[in-house]
Amino acid sequence: MEFHIDNSDAVIRCQELVALAGVEDQGYISMDYAQLGDLLKHADKEGFVSGRLAFKPSRAVALTETRVKRYYNGEITTRPLRFKISPAPRPDGQRDRN
């Protein structure tokens, strides 16, 4: 999955996510800490950033989810969305790159 930031050429790679047809859900989108700076520079003063999610097909990832009955191999891009950037604490032993 990728997050395409509005009014920018920036694309943030996110962790895999399985989207099931007909199922609406909410949750968190995760990415590598190395990309956090790129994301934050596009956020407004309240910490929100606008963009679109692009779901890239992955048969291997779909096969890890037992609820998947059929596989769609086309890309799906969402309407414009607004996200709140809330960095999670770093795992033990990881530090910022300086």
* CA dist list (Å): 6 to 24, 39, 52, 62, 68: 23, 11, 7, 28, 31
Spans of all domains in the chain: 2-20+30-84
pLDDT computed for residue 25 by the predictor: 80
Closest by CA to 87, choosing from 42, 6, 30, 20, is: 30
CA distance 83 to 98: 26
pTM for the complete prediction? 0.72
List pLDDT tens digits, range 25-50.
877 777 777 788 888 889 999 989 99
Q: Where is pLDDT greater, at 97 or 50?
A: 50
Instruction: Give the residue ranges of DSSP H helices in 7-88.
Output: 36-40, 59-62
List pLDDT tens digits, range 12-22.
888 888 888 88
Q: Say how many residues make up the chain.
A: 98
